[in-house]
DNA sequence: GTATCATCTGGAGTTTACTCCAAGTCAAGG
DNA sequence: CCTTGACTTGGAGTAAACTCCAGATGATAC
């Protein structure tokens, strides 16, 4: 699969895909005879994983460390699991914080809606008086 | 309340607090005779609100627009509510995306834990044979 | 009264994560 | 054969949000 299609499929620009490869976030992708990237299934799975993690805000640096460990084989399983655990922890905390903010927003929106209703009632009142 | 205490209370550096004021994210804070900031209750509430919104990732630009509307008084209530609604929508979407990633992480961690158990069982097996 | 400390300002520097660009190569269509 | 278009590279540029700094000032501790 060529880079344009991968870009399409995951909503990541070709520039970003090449950038990820350059910095070692995605292992080097196979090329065809003329040096053009041809993503295989493994590449696609890796891209999808990175897309998922990045969309939740996991830092590139941490992900590079993780994929480096993956490439070093089974003796790094403990280290990898620790990275994932730590990131899971941070992510859960961020979700909770965002949920709090969501509640605050909901409350504020509600207040604004009441304010609008109140103003509308007042306007009607003025019209009533006007009639 | 002086800037160092505010910084302490909200976990925002003095530099950031001054920066927020400079860019109009927080209204100018009152100063004492020697020109030093003295945050009053209103200031503190505004700082807390900004802290909350920023911690959930709402862009500074949007928040500046919002606080500008607040300063323009009641005729901007509709606009303000619309900003909050839109940001609420975006935030909810981000939370859902992060929740998905959290699930993926949990699954991967579980797999790693099984892998470790498997390896441990194998090691024990080898020891059994060794005995 | 002087040394230290917190604060002030405007401006420059940093970090993270892309994003864009120029110049070059290759394959296919007319 | 020539043009068009997708792809390549290395490197430069950008955006957002801080973060740091130098130089000045004013207050506080001894």
Contacts of residue B12, Cβ cutoff 8 Å, sequence gap at least 6:
B6, B20, B47, B51
Q: pLDDT band at B28, cuts 50/70/90?
A: very high
In the structure encoding, which two tokens stand for residue B123, read together?
Answer: 């090691």
Domain with B3 in it: what CATH number? 1.10.1660.10
Q: Inspect the interface and report whether the beta carbons of A119 and B85 lie closer than 8 Å.
A: no
Greater confidence (A67 vs A130) lies with A67
The ipTM of this complex is: 0.90
Does residue B35 sit in the same domain as residue B95? no
- Search chain B and give the residue with CA nearest A103: B88
**Closest to B74 in 3D by CA, of A119, A104, A117:** A119
CA of B17: nearest nucleotide by C1' is D18
Q: Inspect the interface and report whether the beta carbons of B98 and A56 lie closer than 8 Å.
A: yes
pLDDT tens-digit series, residues B55-94: 999 999 999 999 999 999 999 999 999 999 999 999 999 9
* Closest approach of B31 to chain A, Cα-based (Å): 30
pLDDT tens-digit series, residues A94-121: 999 999 999 999 999 999 998 888 888 8
Q: pLDDT band at B115, cuts 50/70/90?
A: confident
CA distance A20 to B80: 39
- Search chain B and give the residue with CA nearest A80: B112
Does residue B57 sit in the same domain as residue B78? no
- Residue A33, pLDDT > 50, answer yes
CA of A38: nearest nucleotide by C1' is D7
Domain that holds residue B63: 1-71
Does residue B1 sit in the same domain as residue B62? yes
Distance A19 CA to D12 C1' (A): 14
Mean pLDDT confidence for A51-67: 98
């Amino acid at each position: 699969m060529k880079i344009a299609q991968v870009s399409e499929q995951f909503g990541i620009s070709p520039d970003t895909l090449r950038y990820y490869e350059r910095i070692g976030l995605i292992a080097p992708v196979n090329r065809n005879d003329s040096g053009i990237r041809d993503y295989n299934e493994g590449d696609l799975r890796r891209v999808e994983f990175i897309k998922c993690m990045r969309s939740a805000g996991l830092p590139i640096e941490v992900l590079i460390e993780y994929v480096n460990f993956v490439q070093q084989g089974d003796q790094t399983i403990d280290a990898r699991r620790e990275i994932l655990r730590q990131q899971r922890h941070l992510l859960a905390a961020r979700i909770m914080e965002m949920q709090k903010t969501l509640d605050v927003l909901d409350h504020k929106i509600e207040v604004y809606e009441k304010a609008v209703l109140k103003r509308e009632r007042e306007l009607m009142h003025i019209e009533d008086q006007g009639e």
